[in-house]
Structure formats: structure tokens, C-alpha cells
Structure 1
Amino acid sequence: MTAAGWPGEETDAPPMPGGRWRRLLARGGGRLVALAEAEGERWVLWLPVAFGAGVSLYFGLRQEPDWWIGAAAVGGCMVLVLALRRWFAMAGVAMALLMLAAGLLVAQAHTIHMAAPVLSRSIAGATVTGRVMAVERRPGATRITLRDVTVSKLAPERTPAALRVRLSDRFPAPTPGSVVRLRATLLPPQAPAEPGAFDFQRRAWFMGLGGTGFATGAPELVEAPPVTGWSTVAIAFEKARGAIAERVAVAIGDPVEASVTTALLNGEEFGIPEATMDDFRNSGLAHLLSISGLHVGIAAGILFYVVRALLAAVPYIALRWPIKKIAALFGILSALGYTLLVGAPLPTVRSVLMTGMVMGAIMLDRHPLSMRLVAFAGLVTMAMDPEGMLGPSFQMSFAAVVALIAAFEKGSVRLAEWRRDAGWIVRGLLYVGGILLTSVVATLATLPFSLFHFQQIAFYGVLSNLIAIPITSFWVMPWSLIAYALLPFGLEAPALIAMNWGDRAVIWTAEFFGRLPWASLTVPAMPADGFALLVMGGIWLCLWTRWWRWLGMLPVLAGLASPMLAVRPDVLVAGDGTVMAVRLPDGRLSASVKGGGRMTETWRERDGERSPADPWPGDGGWSGGGRSLDCDALGCLYRVQGKTVALLRLPDALDEDCGAVDAVVTAEVARRCRGELVVDRWILRHEGAHTLTVTAEGVAVKTVRGLRGDRPWTGGK
């Protein structure tokens, strides 16, 4: 018997409450299940996303997990997958959890693997001996990376495995592979300039770099045994990069054009003047100077078509050998050689993986471009360098490729139909339209990452790329390959000069668009939460193919709006307390010292400001907009929202200010100060850089250590 009567019996009883909603929910659930089933081939693409989420989870922890946690999580998830293997949906969720745990485990294992001593304090006048593994030629200086290092003032067990030392251009640069001895001042890797800023300490840990410094004298050559193993190959390619730079300097007289040509040939951007780099950044063409997928793909593609054409020209070979597959093999070898020659940066490693898989697909008679190909390349790249996933190179590179393939998937069929019966004029227009569409898609895909990492938007990027990319593809890169072929014979000068004609056009394009009014816009730093929303929304938008993909626009728009909603701090304090800054009534930052170096430059960039404001007055002050700053020889009093922050220059002001203000900041020791909030030398040394946000309720403090926690690269566990 049912609530309405006996089975089959007519009844006038009203329907059960909520029955309509249950039917609607059931219908909606059925449609959702049908939609999920229709996207069945795309679910596997989320496994690398889950792996990346595990990597992000590891780096977001404030305490280093015990060594067994990652392995235990993977083992538990494997058991869960086996237990749920008969239920497809549940098994999929368990598989995603397994990839999440695998990402955490790989990141944790990589951290353990890269463990090496790191300098904890500055060392002046040390005698440093080491083998030169890399030479970076910069305007006014040369930076060398030393390995197998010994330091006169450090015990062997506390000596870093590698150091990066800057040499004056007054001294000749040593040869890669040589062993040198020099006097230097050594510094620990620099901590972030403020909470949330770029963490060079973490990057240095995964580069195996235990410290930086500058030489105070000329390097002296030391007799040492020759290198062996993989180091021999690395040094050989480093010497080749140096030889290329020297040949280019001889063939091309203009130093700016020579530096750009060198960057495109061997990946060295360090010699490009800062003004030229600014033009490339403002015009949206900086990616052309960073060896990445564009260059590797063009190099492999050119060699693929040249080898195929040459083999096809010989009837005996063309009729008997698989010339397309042979050409694909040459494409793989060219991509690998090019990657080694430019130093194998992360975007190039990703590109050579993808290029190898594209050419491998050609050799196996498979479709060469697919989202699964990108997913596999991303998974391998993250496994090779988990920390690199957090950097702009990885993120912008994959964002552009994923977005382009997603757009290609939607439009390739229609484009093929248009091309099938089109004449040469229509084909030309389609080509131009393809370049324009590619530039638009790639620009939009990389824009969020440019906002997050560099706080910059290039408004003319589409137009500048529309001019510069064809020049690079059809003139610069072919001549660069010819120059590579002629370099061993010393006949490269004509090819380098021809290549430079194209480089000159690209430089002119960067200068023209980079110096136009409103060429670029700087914005305040995007909050990490907004960036996470934006990334997940973008992934959702690109990985699905049905209508629900457009739901990803909601988090994308929320992430793009987050910089406008972010509240920047009122006071910033460097980790050693020597530089401070306060917010002016017009929103800009005024620093305690003129200049301030990289510290204040980072603060301005994250504020979205380009030009520095006047520094604090030595005596006197200003007021306006509810803010004021009063300074004398002992320090300054900053007032905002009815609160007062004392920013001390000398310790003599401690007794007077400690009990009379809401917060005290000093680079000295303030043991006797019993104020509401005291930031002194010991707190700065322990917590790192501080930011203070003043409200009517009080002064909110954020610190670098409070955000990062205690991790191996911070000197923690």
C-alpha cells in the first residue's frame, strides 16, 4: 500500500510536497549526466590538471610535510581506485585524487632531490674557487655560474653546490669549463620584496643555486682535472653559445641589432639593452626574444619541409622510402639540437616534447595536433620541473598552446571547407586571417598571466604580432638555420647579415608600437585567489566542447576584476628595514630613500605604477586626502584613518614614540618598546618583509614568512 492508496487505485489525494522539485532535479541531473557522457573523451584531459593541482597544493603548504606523506597519499589513492574500479564515475574521482596525490609526491621528491646547502648570511672578502658552467654576457657586466665550489670562510658541508657571481666588464670573461679563483662578496638568495611577490629563494633552491654575489677582483685560472659525464655536453653547448655571440658581434656592427640576433640564435637575452627590452614588452613582442614553442616549431617545421622536398626530388628515394617519416625524424633531431643549443629553458623543453610528439604522430600516421598531446607534454614537463609550473614561462606557454588548439578544434572543419575550392587570393586572405586569429587568441590567453606576473597589458600586441610573426617565420628563422649550417665552416656572415635585416624590421616594429600613446597599461598585482579562479575558468573554457564550457567565463571575469578590488598596503618595509615606503594621497608610494633599487621597483610594479614618487623629506612633511607624513632627523610619523605609524631612522626616537603611536617600525633592536605593534630588527630578520594596512579598527600586518611558512628554501624544515 502506498501513501496515495492501494496500488492501481484511483485517488484524489494531492501530490507529495516537493515532488515537482524532485522531478526537476531528476531531469536536470539526467541532462547533466548526458552532457558528461557526451564529453567522455575529454575527461582524461583533467588528469594533468589534477596533477598540477597537487603540485600547487604542495607549494601552498606553510609547513613541509613529512617525507612519507606523499607516498602514503599515492598508495591510499591507488587502493581507492582499485576498490572503485567497477563504478565508472567513482573510479574517475578516485583517479583524479590519485593524480592530485602524485603531483604532491613528485613536488616533494623534487624538493628533497634538490636539497643542498644555502648561504644563510652575507660573506665579505671570501676566496671562491669553482668551475665555470655558464657565462651570461650583460651590458656592463658578466655573470658566471660556478659549480664544484669551495669558499674560504665556509666549511665544506655548508658550502653551496653552485654560486652565481657578477664580474665587472673590466675583467675578461672566463671560458666555460675552466676553473677560476676570485675574491667575492657572497649573499644569500634574496627573499620576496613583499608578501606574495616573486620568490627568488624558492627558484634558486630548484636551480641548485646556493647564493649570489659579486667579484671584487679579476678571476684567476686554476689548474684542475677535466670535466666528465653530462657536464662535458653542457659545457660544449655553453662554449657554442659564446662562439655564436662572438661571430654575431663581428658580422653585425650595431650592438642592439647584434644582441637581438644573438638572442634568437642562442637564447641569450641578457645583452639586450633595457630600453629595447621595454619596447618589446610594451609592444607585446617580448615572447619573440624568449626561445619558446614558436622558434622550436618553426625550426623543426622548416627542416621537415626542406628534407622532404629534397628527398622527393630524387625519384628513386621518393618511390621506395617513407620520405615523410624520414623528414619527421630530422624535425625531431633539429628540435632537440636547437633546445640544447639555447640552454634548454622550460618553455623550450615543453616545445621540444610537443614537437617530438607531433613528428612522432606523423611517423605513426596519426593526427599530429590534439589536446591530449598538450596534456601529455604538460604532465611530463611538470614532472620534470614541478616548481617551474609556478612561473610565467610555463603558464604563458601552455596557455597559448591550449587556447590555440581549442580554437583550432572549433574552426578547423569550416576552415578546411573554405580552403578546398578557394583561389590564391582567398587563400592569402585566409592566411592573413589565420595569423590575426592566432595573435588574438594567444594574446587573450596569455593576458591573465601577464597581469598576474608582470602587472602589464600590451594594447597593440595583436597588431605588432601581425607584422612581426610572419617576418620571424618566413625570413628570420630560415636564415638562422642557414647560419647554423655555415657556422662550422666560418661562412656564416652573409646569412647573419640577411637574418639581421629581418631582425631590424622586428626591432622597428617593437619601437613603433611600444612607444605609441597607451602602448601598455600597468595594473595593481592580482590576488592569488583571483588568479586561481581565472586559471580554473580558462581551463574549463578550453577543455570542454559543449555549451557548458562557457560557464568558465564567470570565474575568468571574476579573476580579471580582482586587481581592481584588491587593497594595496599603506606601509611597506624591506626585510632588513633599511627601505620603507608609505602611500601618498594620490595612491602612489613614496620611499624612505631615493632610488631604493630592485626593492622599491618591485613595490611600484605591484602597485601598477611606473614612475617613482619623491622620497620622504629629510625634515618637514606633507598632508592631504586623510594622510600625512611628518619627518625629522629621528624618523617620520605617518597618519592615516586616525592611526599613527612611527617609522624610525634612529633608535633615539624609541622612548618618545613607543607608547604614543599605534605601530613602530625600526631597523634597530627595540627590546624595551612595549607599543601596540612593534616591528624591529629581530622581527624583520625572522619574518621578512612586512606590509601594514591601516584601517579605523587598527593596523593589519602581513609578512613574507606568514605567507610562505617554514619550507626548505626559506631556512625552515
Structure 2
Amino acid sequence: MSAPNIEHPALPQGRIAHLSVRLTALRARLEAFLEAERGQLPIWAIAAFGAGIALWFALPDPQQWSGLLFLAAGVSLLGFTLVGGRVGAALGWFGLAMAAGCVLVWWRSEQVATIRLEHPRIVELTAKVARVEELAAKGDIRLTLAPSDKNLPPQVRVSIPADEARPGLAAGAVIAMRARLTAPPPMALPGSHDFARDAWFRGDGASGRSMGPVEIKVPAEASGLDDLRARLDHHVRTQLPGASGGIATTLVSGDQNALGEEDADAMRRSGLTHLLSVSGLHLAAVVGGVMFLTLRLLALSRFLALRFNLVLVGAGAGALAGIGYTLLTGLQVPTVRSCVAALLVLGGMALGREAISMRLVAVGALIVLLLWPESVAGASFQFSFAAVTAIVTLHSMSAVRRWLRPRDEGLAMRTVRGFGSLLLTGLVVELALVPFALFHFHRTGLYSVFANLFAIPWTTFVVMPLEATALFLDLGGFGAPFWTATGWAIDQLLALAHWVAGMKGAVATLPTMPVAAFSTMVAGGLWLCLWNARVRLLGLVPIALGAAGAIAAPAPDLLITGDGRHLAVVGADGRPAMLREKSGDFVMSLMSENSGFDGDPLALSDMPGAACSRDSCIADIKRGGRTWRVLATRSGQKLDWQPLTTACASADIVVSERWLPRGCHPRWLKLDRDALEATGGLAIYLKDSPRVATVAERVGSHPWKTPGP
């Protein structure tokens, strides 16, 4: 009798061999892909450098920063030593660049460390003025000062009423004043702007307001770019008083504080705020205008035209104009990036090559990040690079190139083609900026594409040339007619902004966007823009996932500032109701934005389910199938112990700017001065699973965090 025929299972060696073959095939495909995309790999290394900086801001404490460095170093070592080939080189440089970015911003945060004021103080100070900024919207002037008192931080910012300005109050002056100083304001609510971070990297140790007149001990001596900028500001405001003068000043000197609040809000709601930030649009107009005039004027001479390369001369003149304009407007991040890009374009023209490419954008980003790594966390950097990256990506597509390439056709068709190009470019830029606008400002303009379609060419080809001509003719005293024309042109721009801003549904709002959703969309956008092959389309997947996460993010039900003075209960319709009816415009705007509401908040006393006295308010909030009772104090008057503890016991959440007695025991959460000093501002979500988001969690252990109790 023969033995049965039994099939043995596959040997482990067989499975390993099969897996090895598949991995080898996968690596070969990756090698082929990276070889085809080898021109994009240096750009990805710069993106990794920026990612290392961004992750330092996103991760909360030094242990995680160190973990990031070890992980990046491990990836780099793995790529250079074990993997090899194009894949290994890509991994190695990517990890190394990410580690370098994290190290650079960590080092930078330590280098700018300064003494900070721990407690509010009223001081008599003598200081040298480092910078003067006019805040037209507030009717104030903000001074950056270097106090002589060694017991104060080496740099402070103090606001004074505009009518306190005196001749000689400029950079370099020595002044004396009485002022109330406090530590730089922290992030007010989770997801709002972090003013303390800005102050840390600027070197500000305190901020405050004057209390009384400012005495000028040593007037400023007129010299340097600061003096030129100040004289230009004064001259423009003299020629064009009012709102038009504010925009004209911005275009000349880069001072974005020159516009009134109403006009600035209209520019924001209509999506035209970027016109107030001197960047690529303005620099292109200056460089292009100077180059065009240089070529036309020099071409009038037959001798020069036949013996010199006038394109090269014009490019040199444009480069000098771009550098001068960048210096004049104060070396702002968008201007520096645009200046670098313009110089590369001009250099490419001088060499007879096309320089407008994604590499140009990457080099501009690298220079900015090396000089100011902290800019990666700011809206200005993100907006400017997102816009230009979207434009370069769009115009690198073969279909768009075919649409725009020169051809023999009539004027009407050329006009249609140019108009369509402007419309398409504007649409793509606005789509690219939507996540950034919602993340930083909780709102975005829905009609901004059409507003920009008219505003950008109007500013570039009408407003700026008119203003430049007016300034030039003022040298001979003949600029008045052109100032009148400039004022009219700017008035039309403001009229467009107000018209678009006032349209129904002009603004889309969103509560605080989760960092994970924002990061996912940014990563998808980079994948979509930085590859050339069809695999780039996979970037649409993380963009869609991030957008879904952002839209699904719930609105907070309760918002509380870190000092406990301001509280907003968010109604079922999304409208916030304020504890204090006389809250300032900044606080009211803050509460509306973080609630995802476009409009003014209510008073809590007018909200259904709320009852307020002079000293406190009680509000019932129905969420998640139950009713939450909130008790909040709103005066400094002494409260009787027995009624207070009884009210605490009947409330789920108690909020107060003062210290509450130990006998105050709410059912869920007690937020008095001690607790708020530890948490900072809060956003409370009551639906489904109740949770609390705090500023302290958002800031983590970064050096600008507010010291605990």
C-alpha cells in the first residue's frame, strides 16, 4: 500500500523570496520615477527644510523636538547608508533638510531670547525710539523703544494717541514718558493669532500705553532710509488725506497700518487685502515699469541701441529699482521673496534663459527661511508662497501653455485669451489661498476672484503708475494733477472693495480649523504642485480629506479669554453672546471669528435662557441632549459667600476673573484666576463628548509661553 500524496505548505523561504522580488520591483519603479523627476528633488529638499521648521512650531515640547531630530537623522542615515541609489539619496537629503530646519528655528528662538516683563507696571521711562508706526484704524502711533532703565526689557512697544506726535518724534529720538507696561499679550483663544510669538521673535519684552504727554528730549536727526520713508509717508498723506492717502502710503512705504478700520475690513472681506502688502504684484510693477522706461528711453539713441545690449541694461536698472523698493518698504517677507524672484528672472533674461519656474520659488523660500525661519508660521509667508506656487504650477501645465502661446490671431481673440488667462489664474490663486485664509482668519471672500480680476490690473497699470508719476513731478512742483488722478483711482478701488464686501454671502466663515486638517491640505497641495508626472494628482486625496476634516470641525459652545474678563456663549445659530456688553471691537471681532460667525455678537443678557445682573450672568446651554448651566461673574464687587457657593453648586461651569472660594464647587468645571493662569484662553465643546481646548496646550513649552502661576 502506497503512502498518501500530501501537499506541503509553501516554505517560509519561498514567501521571503516572493516578497524580495516584489520589493525589488517596487524599488526599481521608485528609482525610475525619481530619475524622471530628478529636477524636482532639490525643491522637495527645501520643502523638507520648511517642514522641519513648521514641525518645531507644531510640536509642543523639547522632548518631541528632540524626537523629531532623531527621526529625521535616522531617515537620513538609512537613506545614505543602507538604501542607496536615487531613493536613498532622496531619503537622505529629505531627512537631513528636515533636521536642519528644526535645528535652525530652535537655535533662532534661543538667540532672540530677551527679558520679559512678568507683571504690569506703571513706569517713568526714558528711551530711544527705534521705530514709529501710525495705526490709522485706532488713531494711535506705536513706538518701538529701547529704554535706558536696565530694570526694563531692552525693547518695548508703547502706543500713544496720534495727537501726541510732535516734530522730531522719529527713529533715533530720545523721549521721556509715563506708561503702563505689561507682558506681550498671549494668544487670546485656541486657534487665534499668537501675538506673544511675534513679540518673542521681534525681541519685544513688554507692550503698553502712554499715560500723559510725551517729552522729546533729543529730536531725531534726519538720515537714512527710515527718514526717507517717514518723509515720503508725510508727503503722500499731505497730498492725499483720508482713505486714499492710506493706500497710497502703503504702496510707497509698505506701511499696512495706514488704512482706517472700515476700509481695511472692506478690503479683507472682498479678498483685496493682499494689495496692502507690498509683494510680487507691486514689485513686478516697479521692476517692469523701470525696465520698460529704460529700454524705451535708451532706444531713442541710435548710438546706444547699436553698441549696447539694452535688454541687459534695462534688466540692471530694473534690478536696482527692485532692490531699492524692497529696502524702502522695510524688508517685509513677501517683498524679499518677490525681490529674490525678480532678480532671478532678470538674471535669466540677461543670460537668455527662461527663469520663471518652481526652482525660482524654492530659492526665494530658502533665502527667506534661512534669514527668518519663524516666518513659516505667519500668514504673510504662507499666503505669498501659496499664491506664487499655484501660479507657476498652473502655467507649467501643457494645456495652459498651449492656450497662452503666441499665435497669429485678431485683437478680439487676443483680448478674450488674455481675459480668460487672468480669470483662470485668479480662480486658481483664490482656491489655493482658501485653506490659509480659513486657518488664520476663519473667513474667506467668496467673490474675491472677480474683485481681483479688476483690482489687480487697475492697481498695476493705473494706480501705481499715476502715483509714481505724481511723486516724480513733485520734484518740480507739477504733481498736483496726477495726485488728483491717483486719489480718484484709489477711490474707485475702495468703492469696488466696499461693493463686493457688502454683497450678500460675500464671506464664508469657519470656526477654528484643526491643525491636522490644515497640515493635510498643505501636504496635498505640495504633492500636487511639486511633481511633474500624473502621480501629482494623488495630492487631491489629502486635500479632500483635509477639507472634509475642516468642514466637520464643530463650532465651540463657549469661548473664554485667559484673563476671565470676556466670555461668549455661542448660540445654536452660531452667533456669540458676550458677557460684557461694552467689550472692545477687538474682543468682539475675536469672538465672532472663532465662532465662525460673520457679524456682530449679541449681549448675553439678550440671549434666550440667560439672566444677568450687574455682577454676574447665568446662562443655560442645551447641547447633546442635556442642559448645561454656566455661571460667570462680571464685576469687581464683593459677592456674599452663601449665595455664591449656592449658585456654584447649581452650575456646571463657573467662570470668573477673580479667585473663587474653595466652597465654590460646580458640577463639572471651575475656571477662576488660578485655573485660567494655567490654561490661558479656552474653547469648550459640549456636544457629544464634552472637551476643553486651551491656549496652554496649543503653545506648549515654546519659549514665549505665558509663565504659570
Length-normalised TM-score, structure 2:
0.88
1:186 to 181, 186, 189: 181
By how many angstroms is 1:594 displaced? 0.8
**1:502–1:611 distance in 2 versus 1, CA, 3 Å:** closer
**1:81–1:18 distance in 2 versus 1, CA, 3 Å:** closer
Q: Does 1:617 align with 2:605?
A: yes
Name the residue aligned to 2:632. 647
- What are the superposed Cα offsets for residues 35-67 of structure 1, whole Å, 9 maximum, x if unpaired? 443222222211111011100111123224699
Distance 2:572 2:613 in 1: 16
Assess if the C-alpha contact under 8 Å between 1:382 and 1:389 holds in 2: yes
- What are the superposed Cα offsets for residues 502-537 of structure 1, whole Å, 9 maximum, x if unpaired? 323322322332222222222323221111111111
1:48 to 46, 50, 55: 46
**Counterpart amino acid of residue 681 in structure 2:** A
SS in 1 for 2:602: coil
Assess if the C-alpha contact under 8 Å between 2:511 and 2:554 holds in 1: no
SS in 2 for 1:622: coil
By how many angstroms is 1:201 displaced? 0.2
**1:660–1:504 distance in 2 versus 1, CA, 3 Å:** closer
* 1:503-652 matches, cutoff 5 A: 503-597=490-584, 598-617=586-605, 622-623=608-609, 633-636=615-618, 638-640=620-622, 641-649=626-634, 651-652=639-640
**Counterpart amino acid of residue 632 in structure 2:** L
* 1:302-321 matches, cutoff 5 A: 302-321=289-308
Distance 1:14 1:133 in 2: 77
Name the residue aligned to 1:8. none
**Counterpart amino acid of residue 666 in structure 1:** S
**1:214–1:421 distance in 2 versus 1, CA, 3 Å:** same
2:392 to 405, 409, 414: 405
Name the residue aligned to 2:265. 278
- What are the superposed Cα offsets for residues 171-226 of structure 1, whole Å, 9 maximum, x if unpaired? 436233211111111122111121221100001111122222111222111138x8
Distance 2:616 2:90 in 1: 65
Name the residue aligned to 1:449. 436
Distance 2:649 2:602 in 1: 30
Q: Does 1:206 align with 2:194?
A: no
By how many angstroms is 1:414 displaced? 3.9
Assess if the C-alpha contact under 8 Å between 2:76 and 2:95 holds in 1: no
Q: Does 1:164 align with 2:164?
A: no
Distance 1:265 1:417 in 2: 33
2:349 to 341, 348, 362: 362
**1:379–1:462 distance in 2 versus 1, CA, 3 Å:** same
Assess if the C-alpha contact under 8 Å between 1:74 and 1:102 holds in 2: no
Assess if the C-alpha contact under 8 Å between 1:350 and 1:381 holds in 2: yes
Distance 1:686 1:128 in 2: 34
- What are the superposed Cα offsets for residues 215-272 of structure 1, whole Å, 9 maximum, x if unpaired? 1222111138x88xxxx9xx6323223322332233335x122222222222223232
Q: Does 1:384 align with 2:371?
A: yes
SS in 2 for 1:218: coil
By how many angstroms is 1:423 displaced? 3.2
Assess if the C-alpha contact under 8 Å between 1:181 and 1:221 holds in 2: yes
1:703 to 686, 694, 702: 694
**Counterpart amino acid of residue 646 in structure 1:** L
- What are the superposed Cα offsets for residues 480-513 of structure 1, whole Å, 9 maximum, x if unpaired? 3334434555544344333333323322322332
Name the residue aligned to 1:672. 662
**Counterpart amino acid of residue 180 in structure 1:** I
**Counterpart amino acid of residue 686 in structure 1:** A
5+ residue gaps, structure 2, are 1-6
1:129 to 127, 130, 139: 127
Name the residue aligned to 2:413. 426
Assess if the C-alpha contact under 8 Å between 1:292 and 1:347 holds in 2: yes
Length-normalised TM-score, structure 1:
0.87
* 1:318-329 matches, cutoff 5 A: 318-329=305-316
Assess if the C-alpha contact under 8 Å between 2:561 and 2:567 holds in 1: yes
Name the residue aligned to 2:230. 242
By how many angstroms is 1:634 displaced? 4.8
Assess if the C-alpha contact under 8 Å between 2:145 and 2:157 holds in 1: yes
Name the residue aligned to 2:3. none
Distance 2:227 2:515 in 1: 41
Assess if the C-alpha contact under 8 Å between 1:193 and 1:603 holds in 2: no
**1:158–1:266 distance in 2 versus 1, CA, 3 Å:** closer
Distance 1:21 1:337 in 2: 61
Using the TM superposition, name which of 680-689 and 17-26 deviates more.
17-26
- What are the superposed Cα offsets for residues 318-358 of structure 1, whole Å, 9 maximum, x if unpaired? 22222212211111111111112122221111111111111
**1:164–1:422 distance in 2 versus 1, CA, 3 Å:** farther
**Counterpart amino acid of residue 636 in structure 1:** I
Q: Does 1:393 align with 2:380?
A: yes
**Counterpart amino acid of residue 446 in structure 1:** L
SS in 1 for 2:427: helix
Distance 1:539 1:469 in 2: 26
SS in 1 for 2:701: coil
Name the residue aligned to 1:712. 703
Distance 2:151 2:25 in 1: 67
Give the alignment's Cα RMSD to 1 decimal. Answer: 3.4
- What are the superposed Cα offsets for residues 348-369 of structure 1, whole Å, 9 maximum, x if unpaired? 1111111111112222333220
By how many angstroms is 1:637 displaced? 5.2
Using the TM superposition, name which of 370-379 and 413-422 deviates more.
413-422
Distance 1:536 1:614 in 2: 38
Report sequence identity in percent. 30
Name the residue aligned to 1:5. none
**Counterpart amino acid of residue 704 in structure 2:** W
SS in 2 for 1:401: helix
Name the residue aligned to 2:216. 221
Assess if the C-alpha contact under 8 Å between 2:117 and 2:183 holds in 1: yes
Q: Does 1:195 align with 2:190?
A: yes
**Counterpart amino acid of residue 655 in structure 1:** T
**Counterpart amino acid of residue 190 in structure 1:** P
By how many angstroms is 1:293 displaced? 0.9
**Counterpart amino acid of residue 52 in structure 1:** G
**Counterpart amino acid of residue 645 in structure 2:** D
By how many angstroms is 1:548 displaced? 1.5
**1:371–1:417 distance in 2 versus 1, CA, 3 Å:** closer
SS in 1 for 2:186: coil
**1:191–1:418 distance in 2 versus 1, CA, 3 Å:** closer
* 1:102-181 matches, cutoff 5 A: 102-139=100-137, 141-151=139-149, 156=150, 158-172=152-166, 174-181=169-176
Q: Does 1:87 align with 2:85?
A: yes
SS in 2 for 1:197: coil
Name the residue aligned to 1:3. none
Using the TM superposition, name which of 271-280 and 417-426 deviates more.
417-426
Distance 2:129 2:300 in 1: 49
Assess if the C-alpha contact under 8 Å between 1:128 and 1:184 holds in 2: no
SS in 2 for 1:419: coil
5+ residue gaps, structure 1, are 1-10
How many equivalent residue pairs?
Answer: 688
Distance 2:703 2:25 in 1: 52
Name the residue aligned to 1:4. none
Assess if the C-alpha contact under 8 Å between 1:182 and 1:217 holds in 2: yes
**1:572–1:411 distance in 2 versus 1, CA, 3 Å:** same
Assess if the C-alpha contact under 8 Å between 2:138 and 2:261 holds in 1: no
Distance 1:85 1:362 in 2: 40
Distance 1:134 1:73 in 2: 45
